[in-house]
Structure 1
Amino acid sequence: MSNNDIQTQIEQERQAARDACDTSGANSKECAAAWDAVEELQAEASHKKNQPQKTSFETYCDNNPDAAECRVYDD
């Protein structure tokens, strides 16, 4: 899932949380659960930012594991 997809989903979940709180009340279980879903998505987005990006070579080796350049030899 790309960063833009996560941001879009966060916005959708925020709106759903606002709607749930308006409908059920700010202290309801539904409201709390909806905001928990938003927090989980925000945490996922944060973790994705912290992951190192793969180099072009790593991507190449992922797609071509049998290529000579990608072979790993044990000593």
Structure 2
Amino acid sequence: MTTSLNGNQAAETATIEHAILEAINEARAACEQGGNHSAGCAVAWDIVEELQAEKSHKQQAKHNKTSLENYCDRHPEAVECLIYDV
């Protein structure tokens, strides 16, 4: 289960990074075409900023596991890790 979550997070991060790189290339092209002070150039760089902000928010939202959670991932049968429904 942990592997699939980490795999999904890695894929999501790679997708966002890829989108950022594409947006940077598009922004550079827009600025070359319309000039550095054109509206298209500004909009393109705003898109880059939004994608970078999204990547940052996702990294901050990532749950940092406690030492007990790490232990239970390695030893799910341990008494400390058992969960009972009452």
Q: With structure 2 as the length reference, what TM-score do the two structures score?
A: 0.61
| Higher relative contact order, chain-length normalized (CA < 8 Å, sep 6+) | 1
Equivalent residues in 2 for 1:21-60, closer than 5 Å: 21-53=31-63
Structure 1: gaps spanning 5 or more residues: 57-68
Structure 2: gaps spanning 5 or more residues: 1-10, 70-82
Identity of paired residues, percent?
39
Aligned counterparts of 1:20 and 1:7: Cα–Cα separation in 2: 20
Q: Aligned residues, how many?
A: 60
Q: Give 4+ residue runs of structure 1 displaced > 2 Å after superposition.
A: 52-56
Aligned counterparts of 1:47 and 1:27: Cα–Cα separation in 2: 29
